[in-house]
A and B are shown apart, each in its own frame.
Chain A
Amino acid sequence: MKTTLTVNGEAHEVTHDPRRSLLDTLRDDLRLTGTKKGCDHGQCGACTVLLNGERVNSCLCLTAMHDGDEVTTIEGIGSPERLSALQKAFVEKDGYQCGFCTPGQIMSATAMLREISEGAPSYVSDDLEVPKLTDTEMAERMSGNLCRCSAYPLIREAIAMASEVSQ
């Protein structure tokens, strides 16, 4: 079957098996290998992308269900010459070890910072109207992105740094 997707601002028509995941479409058909496959189970967050602006685990999305949708991957939020604030902060804080979880962390954090700025509460929010980026919020909201190297302290520092820059 055929599906049309806009990926990082560019329209693509892909022909695929109805059971193909969005992750496989991105990696294998569009050769956008920055999005990683850690588990293929929706458990690790390495495959996080933005789907119409919201973060999703692309391994749990069927390409067939996203005709006409807009996808942003790690390749779409900055380039080595023009890094996004989060990308810069991850470089600055050295927020990784092996780097395999990093694209997912950055995509997830990109959406997470916006969710907070738009006032979306989490279950640890003290203030349901105006949630703040506390350490607890960050831990809770980023808990879907595993890092086996446990670079968590620096990941959290990087996110905090980027959020200060953007405020």
Chain B
Amino acid sequence: MTLRKPLPHDSARQHVTGAARYLDDIPLPANALHLAFGLSPIARGRIASLDLDAVRTAPGVVRVWTHADLPSDCDCSPSAHDEPLLSDGTLHYQGQPVFLVAATSHRAARRAALLATLETLAETPILTIEQALDADSRFESGPVIWSRGDAAGAIATAPRRVDGLLEMGGQEHFYLEGQAAAALPQDDGTLHVHSSTQHPSEIQHKVAHALHLAMHDVRVETRRMGGGFGGKESQGNALAIACAVVAQATGRPAKMRYDRDDDFIITGKRHDFRIRYKAGFDEDGHLLGIDFIHYTRCGWAQDLSLPVADRAMLHADNAYWLPNVRIESHRLKTNTQSATAYRGFGGPQGVLGIERVVDHVAHVLNLDPLVVRQRNYYAPSGSVSERTSGGAPAPCSAAPRTPGSISEAEKQVVPDPEAELTSRGGPQDAGAAPAVPAGVQTTPYGQPVEGFILHEMTERLAERAEYHARRARIAEWNAANPVLKRGIALSPVKFGISFTLTHLNQAGALVHVYHDGSILMNHGGTEMGQGLFQKVAQVAAHGFGVPLDAVRITATDTAKVPNTSATAASSGSDLNGAAVANACAAIRARMAAHLASVHGVEPDAVRFADGRVIAGKTTMSFAEAAALCYQARISLSAAGYYATPEISWDRMRGHGRPFYYFAHGAAVTEVVLDTLTGENRILRTDILHDCGASLNPALDVGQIEGGYVQGAGWLTTEELVWDDHGRLRTHAPSTYKIPACSDRPDVFNVSLWDGENHVPTVGRSKAVGEPPFMLGISAFLALSDALAACGDAYPSLDAPATPERLLAAFGSLRGTGG
């Protein structure tokens, strides 16, 4: 049995010996060209004149391109065709590529790029939320509004009310391996592209589009990435297209990688959000009505901002039953990097919004926030609580949009081959409304909340972490210590698993069994450290009852598995694992049928286990079985396919069942804060996380620890600062602080909830890539709790809670506290 084993990553030996190849390690022919972009020095304006003579004559330079020299607009956008590779004359942000240099070395290209004389006509950039609202600079014609019940009425008549404002910053991916791509021209005019990407099919599509080629003319290969986190879902398009343009024009291989500062300055990051909230509740803390306004800075291009902002709205409930709710979302267009996918894809921002509200409510009522959380949790499936027994949940309704606000793309029925079909930014068809089983509560968007296990998980975690006893001890400690203050918080997560663009929830795989019994496997997912290849190999080994080393995993390759979705939305192992399982099942059935007929047994009676195949009284090795089948002319190769069942989503109405299931988790974090300096540290973290029946507990624990630390980083130390001219001032690790080894919690207990997914997935497991990221919210809330011990007012802490911010918050608390 190879399912459910704590096996290490694939490539373990290559990683520890430095033999594992990343894109920049791939040897290229000596005549390869190296590329660099010349960048816009201003955030908004136009190019007045561009003199590239000095660039062209610089040592090593082979050729230079401006927008006019390109074979097309070379659009890099995953959605709205609004990202020409090089500026068409308009400058949208500081760092936008303006021209492209190909030279004989990386250094020569970069040095030459600095020699341009670029004169600009600067305009006042739109940088802040206020500026964008004033200028009505936004994507889509107006805010998106989803609602259920009567939020305003419920808030107005509620016994108690709070309102507030929460700012949360963005986040740089800082994948340790920066963006990189290479293109090798082939003898028949086709291109072989290597890309450090989470989305090879998108690279293939965009390169083909840019060069007027068909998709079969472009082959994209991705062996592994040195981290992705969403930053390599669409942001690698520009590099791959640039390499392809140069390779096609010169007939020479071309490679491009961004230096770290360029990577910060050019590429998109997590969306920053401002959330305004109003809530009405009763004396016990039950939320009766809630109103959210999300403002998000999307940057200059649409990219994936619409589905990101949607997912923030879809997680505005997190784990809580909201009978009357209204969510309004503004997607603002600003002269900054185009914000993009980042682990959680808007979910963390939505979750932080409601967690802040619950925390605020608890503070006002002087209740333990955990108690308020538990009181508002969705009812366990099939046991709707008294509070909601008055009838079925009210149907979800969306505020009407004017006919003019529904775009042509949305009305379209016949897909346009030019459209971004494989991207999350693509157009969405309307889906059917989900059936709601009796006694099950629904999310604000109408999805039944089934398999909700946070009640049990929270209780187990609170007990293991001794939450209540520690909370009492912390209160005593804080009373006795004037300078150092401690804080503790428990926060849950319920995260929806599936792409909200329904048709992306499909995957393919290709499995070959050779007649020596070795197995080669290929699927559409990409490996970025999450252990996907290992998990999927386990599925294949399990399918044939062979040891793991009988299975070889090869690079993701668009020539082997077509039309793949991004490895994103935590869906990698659910989708690709299922496709591989289907391919293996097909081959195994053929083998079983043949061996059954030879040995006179039923096909069902042929067993594959422990590297052997047993048919009646005959036992043979898997290799012998493969050879026999080959000689009998049985096909030993199969393509597998999987499409997630049961999901459908009507984005316009904000209604449907966008998620196949929910993954859950909860974390308790304790911090200590120095109120003289704002310095702080995480003393202890306890996590209980739901991976269903984990396929690989070791890999899952690693994802949980890593997700938590990255989430805590987002909300504490990682601060992006733009100046008034729109220049990003934090563009290197010297000024942008990601968690180091020493930032890990002193005590870190992570365990997996022992359960099974209630819907059928591979081995009843659950996705794990993104959900644990939101557990980091407990660190932020614990800091807020520590601050709350310093005064009477609610701390209203913004994120990231840098020492500077904590100190300022402390100062204003002390001010108000007398």
CB atoms of B705 and A150 under 8 A apart:
yes
Chain B contacts for A36, CB-based, 8 A: 22, 176-177, 226
The complex places the Cα of A96 from the Cα of B24 at a distance, in Å, of 19
Choose one: B13, B18, B706; the contact of A35 (CB below 8 Å).
B18
Task: Quote the shortest CB–CB distance from A123 to chain B (angstroms).
Answer: 12
Chain A contacts for B742, CB-based, 8 A: 139-140, 142-143
CB atoms of A96 and B744 under 8 A apart:
no
CB atoms of A148 and B227 under 8 A apart:
yes
Task: Quote the shortest CB–CB distance from B503 to chain A (angstroms).
Answer: 29
A58 at the interface (CB under 8 A from B): no
CB interface residues, B 699-725, toward A, < 8 Å: 699, 702-703, 705-710, 713
Chain A contacts for B746, CB-based, 8 A: 135
CB interface residues, A 68-105, toward B, < 8 Å: 73-75, 78-80, 83, 86-88, 90-92, 94, 96-103
B15 at the interface (CB under 8 A from A): yes
The complex places the Cα of A154 from the Cα of B173 at a distance, in Å, of 21
Chain A contacts for B176, CB-based, 8 A: 36, 38, 44, 46, 98, 100-101, 146-149
Evaluate whether A146 and B177 lie within 8 angstroms (CB atoms) in the complex, with A78-B17, A96-B9 already known.
no
Q: B-side binding surface: helix, strand, loop or mixed?
A: loop
The chain A residue with its CB closest to the CB of B698 is A94
The complex places the Cα of A39 from the Cα of B18 at a distance, in Å, of 18
CB atoms of A151 and B706 under 8 A apart:
yes
The complex places the Cα of A41 from the Cα of B263 at a distance, in Å, of 13
Chain B contacts for A101, CB-based, 8 A: 176, 226
A145 at the interface (CB under 8 A from B): yes
1/0 per residue, CB under 8 A from B, across A129-167: the answer is 000000100111011111111111111100000000000
A121 at the interface (CB under 8 A from B): no
The complex places the Cα of A33 from the Cα of B107 at a distance, in Å, of 17
A54 at the interface (CB under 8 A from B): no
The chain A residue with its CB closest to the CB of B745 is A153
B150 at the interface (CB under 8 A from A): no
CB atoms of A100 and B530 under 8 A apart:
no
The complex places the Cα of A40 from the Cα of B731 at a distance, in Å, of 13
Q: Which of B12, B224, B744, B748 has the most CB of A within 10 A?
A: B12
Interface size for chain A: under 10, 10 to 19, 20 to 34, or 35 or more residues? 35 or more
CB atoms of B18 and A33 under 8 A apart:
yes
Task: Quote the shortest CB–CB distance from B182 to chain A (angstroms).
Answer: 14
Evaluate whether A98 and B226 lie within 8 angstroms (CB atoms) in the complex, with A36-B176, A38-B260, A152-B741 already known.
yes
CB atoms of A80 and B19 under 8 A apart:
yes
Chain A contacts for B529, CB-based, 8 A: 96-100, 149
CB atoms of A43 and B733 under 8 A apart:
yes
B328 at the interface (CB under 8 A from A): no
Task: Quote the shortest CB–CB distance from B401 to chain A (angstroms).
Answer: 40
Chain B contacts for A150, CB-based, 8 A: 705-710, 713, 739, 744
B174 at the interface (CB under 8 A from A): yes
The complex places the Cα of A148 from the Cα of B9 at a distance, in Å, of 17
Chain B contacts for A78, CB-based, 8 A: 16-17
The complex places the Cα of A14 from the Cα of B738 at a distance, in Å, of 36
Task: Quote the shortest CB–CB distance from A88 to chain B (angstroms).
Answer: 8
The chain A residue with its CB closest to the CB of B740 is A143
CB atoms of A91 and B741 under 8 A apart:
no
A106 at the interface (CB under 8 A from B): yes
Chain B contacts for A142, CB-based, 8 A: 741-742
The complex places the Cα of A36 from the Cα of B740 at a distance, in Å, of 18
The complex places the Cα of A27 from the Cα of B106 at a distance, in Å, of 13
The chain B residue with its CB closest to the CB of A99 is B15
B21 at the interface (CB under 8 A from A): yes
CB atoms of A146 and B18 under 8 A apart:
no
The complex places the Cα of A73 from the Cα of B18 at a distance, in Å, of 9
A55 at the interface (CB under 8 A from B): no
CB atoms of B733 and A41 under 8 A apart:
yes
Task: Quote the shortest CB–CB distance from B536 to chain A (angstroms).
Answer: 16
Chain B contacts for A73, CB-based, 8 A: 18
B27 at the interface (CB under 8 A from A): yes
B436 at the interface (CB under 8 A from A): no
Chain A contacts for B15, CB-based, 8 A: 90, 96, 99, 102-103
CB atoms of A152 and B744 under 8 A apart:
yes
CB atoms of B18 and A145 under 8 A apart:
no
CB atoms of A74 and B17 under 8 A apart:
yes
CB atoms of A87 and B16 under 8 A apart:
yes
The chain A residue with its CB closest to the CB of B748 is A153
B549 at the interface (CB under 8 A from A): no
B259 at the interface (CB under 8 A from A): yes
Chain B contacts for A87, CB-based, 8 A: 16-17
CB atoms of B13 and A156 under 8 A apart:
no
The complex places the Cα of A58 from the Cα of B13 at a distance, in Å, of 23
Chain B contacts for A102, CB-based, 8 A: 15-16
CB atoms of A91 and B22 under 8 A apart:
no
CB atoms of B12 and A75 under 8 A apart:
no
Task: Quote the shortest CB–CB distance from B744 to chain A (angstroms).
Answer: 5
Task: Quote the shortest CB–CB distance from A82 to chain B (angstroms).
Answer: 10
Task: Quote the shortest CB–CB distance from A39 to chain B (angstroms).
Answer: 4
The complex places the Cα of A62 from the Cα of B271 at a distance, in Å, of 39
Choose one: B18, B259, B698; the contact of A74 (CB below 8 Å).
B18
CB atoms of A148 and B174 under 8 A apart:
yes
Evaluate whether A103 and B18 lie within 8 angstroms (CB atoms) in the complex, with A94-B12, A146-B740 already known.
yes
The complex places the Cα of A137 from the Cα of B738 at a distance, in Å, of 20
Task: Quote the shortest CB–CB distance from B533 to chain A (angstroms).
Answer: 12
Chain B contacts for A90, CB-based, 8 A: 12, 15-16
Chain B contacts for A92, CB-based, 8 A: 8
Chain A contacts for B703, CB-based, 8 A: 97
The complex places the Cα of A103 from the Cα of B20 at a distance, in Å, of 10
B225 at the interface (CB under 8 A from A): yes
* Further pairs besides A27-B24, A142-B742: 10, Cβ < 8 Å: A33-B18, A34-B18, A37-B24, A43-B733, A94-B9, A94-B699, A99-B20, A99-B529, A149-B702, A151-B702
Residues of B within 8 A of A (CB): 8-9, 11-22, 24-25, 27, 107, 173-178, 224-227, 229, 259-260, 528-531, 698-699, 702-703, 705-710, 713, 732-734, 738-742, 744, 746, 748
22 A-B pairs with CB atoms under 8 Å apart are: A31-B27, A32-B18, A33-B24, A34-B19, A36-B22, A74-B16, A86-B16, A87-B17, A91-B13, A97-B529, A98-B226, A99-B14, A100-B177, A100-B227, A103-B16, A139-B744, A140-B742, A142-B741, A148-B174, A148-B738, A149-B702, A150-B706
7 nearest A-B pairs in the assembled complex, by CB-CB distance = A34-B18, A98-B529, A100-B226, A97-B529, A74-B18, A99-B15, A150-B709
